[in-house]
A and B are shown apart, each in its own frame.
Chain A
């Protein structure tokens, strides 16, 4: 279960972002829509524990983020939360497959090479296993980035504008992939975006 209450954050005193409360059960999806500048990225960073809110709290599986030390929060995020960004980034000196293995290593999980290869095959990157991330097309890169987030079977998948730089065709593929994989591992999925194309794809959505 993911629960937030009374979240707010400000970068300076003149403007304060306040966010609606969220309650999400295991396996549920949530779409958060909002235009540029309403604090979408700020919210996703608070939800992932990268930023601490000025007021309110985030609680996941019974753990309040503010009660964790920064080191345990790093570990908690590593093992429970998978993140996907608008622009996909990788450790550029490692192959696609090695990026997946590094993600497993850093979240203290077994480096199961077979499972990593299987996942990449499933999302259509079977022939790109040993390619460098730079050698992939943008759509492929986004899929590979999702694979790096999913390989550690997180409880929560946080996607920040995962589709905004993609064409309609790739956009649809990515969303289907995210929803499929989330339901496969029974993970909560939160997508934050300004991309109106996604509006009809989710049952629950919040406007910021």
Chain B
């Protein structure tokens, strides 16, 4: 028997009060931790897909939409642009390299992107099997696609029109898998890559049918002039970032968007909502502190004689302080750990359901830097909540308490 064991016994012998304080603390911590983890996951995901892309050129429209569609493959594209016009820009000396993207078709919900070999190289992908495409209608598939669609080298499939499942099947030409990529935790995992010509080929064939493509929705080349959906640009120096996008936007029919800028704008928009949820979480933590205080205070009121008795047994003031302090802080620390666990379980369950489309699968099961703040917060809440009971225990008047029962 010792003080540590006694505080533990006191906690578990008072299950309802303890449970309430614990749940509140776990819930508050859990919410904040969940927001931090999601935020980190989203930000990392956004940043990881951004490397080496300084600017995106596409059809006029929303710059955010252009970024979301061309870099993250979430939104619909803003439309198509003429290759001829793009080529004029490409010769600018400020530009180091460019990568064209054409998309608008999909296979079982995964986008088929027509591009050059430079695109997968941008993500420094490794091959699990096979190699890059050589000629038209050969494709390289990302790891998530392989997993979901059970593809292997040599598999063939038909693309369907549009970016969601259920579009019309382009059943004239079949794609053939020649390469399978390793998991890279980038957007590439969810793409089917081929050359630009394959995309045109599938669609130029359709031109002879009565079906017409409608600009934005289809997003594919149907014109006599060759078209692409967007162009990813890398500058020679950051100076290009300042002058070039404006020049494109003002002097051509094209739109230039800077991903870093658009993403910052998106994150700060999200941040506003995240901050309010954080406030709610923090408020719940405060309430849990109050609950710890009330349950400690009440239990000490009932146990005043007990504390005096312990002093008679020979306990020092410090031992009583230690007892009360541990009862308060233990609950808050347990709440902290349950909270951190809770956010991870939630995230795990959520990612299980949405991983196919938005892939937050890279969950941080280990502690992230931002969460370290929760330790001093939980500790000080536990400490502040136990402060008054601690002072009471310290100043307990033994003769008076022993006589007044």
B74 at the interface (CB under 8 A from A): no
A107 to B2, CA, bound (A): 11
- Closest B residue by C-beta to A77: B314
B399 at the interface (CB under 8 A from A): yes
- Closest B residue by C-beta to A91: B306
Contact A50 B10 (CB under 8 A): no
Question: Known contacts A89-B309, A91-B306, A92-B303: does B402 contact A50 (CB below 8 Å)?
Answer: yes
Residues of B within 8 A of A74 (CB): 311, 314-317
A114 at the interface (CB under 8 A from B): no
Contact B312 A77 (CB under 8 A): yes
A21 to B13, CA, bound (A): 46
Q: Map CB proximity to A onto B289-327 as digits: 1 under 8 Å, 0 otherwise.
A: 000000000000001011001111111110100000000
Q: Which single member of B9, B10, B313 contacts A78 (CB below 8 Å)?
A: B313
Contact A94 B305 (CB under 8 A): no
Contact B313 A102 (CB under 8 A): yes
Shortest C-beta distance, A93 to chain B (Å), equals: 4
Instruction: Enumerate A27-47 residues with CB–CB distance to B below 8 Å.
Output: 41-42, 45
- 18 other A-B residue contacts (CB within 8 Å) besides A89-B405, A92-B303: A41-B399, A71-B317, A74-B311, A74-B316, A75-B314, A77-B312, A83-B312, A85-B402, A87-B405, A89-B306, A89-B309, A92-B306, A93-B9, A94-B9, A101-B1, A106-B313, A111-B1, A148-B313
Is the interface on chain A under 10, 10 to 19, 20 to 34, or 35 or more residues?
20 to 34
Contact A50 B314 (CB under 8 A): no
Q: Which of B's residues lie within 8 Å of A, judged by CB?
A: 1-2, 6, 9-10, 13-14, 303, 305-306, 309-317, 319, 398-399, 402-403, 405
A193 at the interface (CB under 8 A from B): no
Residues of B within 8 A of A75 (CB): 314, 316
Question: Known contacts A45-B399, A106-B310: does B1 contact A94 (CB below 8 Å)?
Answer: yes
Residues of A within 8 A of B314 (CB): 74-75, 77-79, 106-108
Contact A50 B303 (CB under 8 A): no
A155 at the interface (CB under 8 A from B): no
Shortest C-beta distance, B5 to chain A (Å), equals: 9
Residues of B within 8 A of A105 (CB): 1-2
A22 at the interface (CB under 8 A from B): no
Q: Which single member of A50, A104, A148 contacts B399 (CB below 8 Å)?
A: A50
Shortest C-beta distance, A70 to chain B (Å), equals: 8
Residues of A within 8 A of B319 (CB): 106
Q: Which single member of A79, A87, A102 contacts B1 (CB below 8 Å)?
A: A102
- Closest A residue by C-beta to B319: A106
Contact A98 B303 (CB under 8 A): no
A105 to B310, CA, bound (A): 10
A206 at the interface (CB under 8 A from B): no
- Closest A residue by C-beta to B311: A74
Contact A106 B315 (CB under 8 A): yes
Residues of A within 8 A of B10 (CB): 93
Residues of B within 8 A of A106 (CB): 310, 313-315, 319
A90 to B313, CA, bound (A): 11
In the A-B complex, the 4 residue pairs with the smallest Cβ-Cβ separation, listed nearest first, are A78-B314, A101-B1, A107-B314, A106-B313
Residues of A within 8 A of B13 (CB): 93
Question: Known contacts A50-B398, A101-B1: does B313 contact A94 (CB below 8 Å)?
Answer: no
Residues of B within 8 A of A91 (CB): 6, 306, 309-310
Q: Which single member of A42, A85, A93, A103 contacts B313 (CB below 8 Å)?
A: A103
A87 to B399, CA, bound (A): 14
Instruction: Enumerate A144-166 residues with CB–CB distance to B below 8 Å.
Output: 148
Shortest C-beta distance, B379 to chain A (Å), equals: 25
Residues of B within 8 A of A89 (CB): 305-306, 309, 405
A75 to B315, CA, bound (A): 7
**Could you list some 27 contacts between A and B, CB below 8 A?**
A45-B399, A45-B402, A50-B398, A71-B317, A75-B316, A78-B315, A79-B314, A87-B405, A89-B305, A89-B309, A91-B306, A91-B309, A91-B310, A92-B306, A93-B6, A93-B10, A94-B9, A98-B1, A102-B1, A106-B310, A106-B313, A106-B314, A106-B315, A106-B319, A107-B313, A107-B314, A148-B313
